[in-house]
Amino acid sequence: MAGGGPHYEKLEKAPVEAEALLLDVRKEKIDKVISQRTRTFTVVLDRLEDSFNMAAVLRTCEANGLQEVHVIVNPEAPFMPNSRVAQGCDKWLDVKLYKDFASCREHLKSRGFALYASAIREDATSLYSLRFDSKIALVFGNEREGVSQEVLEQSDGTFWIPMRGFSQSLNISAAASASITRAISWREEHLGRVGDLTEAEAQELRDRFYVLAVKQRRRIFKKQPPSRP
């Protein structure tokens, strides 16, 4: 008897849900990370040159719960963080690139951020005097010149890290690490929390992180992970 009919039709393979491929312990870890993520505190990197510093700052940001990093690209040094230092942390972040500070500033100001540039100046505010209970972005300059004159002129203020030794400056990655750690600890002490994502933001990250956490995801899903905002 000849075959045919719906029982013999080739069926479309049901789409694979990333959540179904993860162990509960992995999903719990992802949910915990998301609960401590923030989009109201961020850093801006102004024309960095060294790939090790690029990667070190990204790793510090991810480890401390920052979801976004904003980068003013150096035309003479493409933003290519060293993979050995980054250890894949950049896949969990939203790294936004800009050709100049003006466009970065416009984007952040439109979202209500105040921008403070790291610079040793007489009128600079001590890092320990800054408050972190509102949207704030800290700007760090490149290894040789610091932040640009454009950044100094267009930022809402400057800050410096008090030094207690003979050294009066820190490497960019060390300065960023000290500043980020201070900001996060300030939030925990004064606000009782670090994470501040909305339900929609948290769900968007959850969907993305579940996919990113699946090994061989490109083969399984046959497409790139969900696009970043």
Q: How far apart are CA 164 and CA 56, in angstroms?
A: 24
Domain that holds residue 67: 38-162+169-194
Beta strands in the chain (DSSP E): 41-46, 68-72, 94-98, 114-118, 125-126, 136-140, 157-160
Answer yes or no: is 80 within a domain: yes
Q: What confidence tens digit (pLDDT) does each residue in 163-220 have?
A: 999 988 899 999 999 999 999 999 999 999 999 999 999 999 999 999 898 886 666 5
Number of domains in the chain: 1
Answer yes or no: is 79 within a domain: yes
Q: How far apart are CA 183 and CA 227, in angstroms?
A: 29
Q: What confidence tens digit (pLDDT) does each residue in 89-102 have?
A: 999 999 999 999 99
pTM for the structure as a whole: 0.87
We report the CATH number of the domain holding residue 99 as 3.40.1280.10
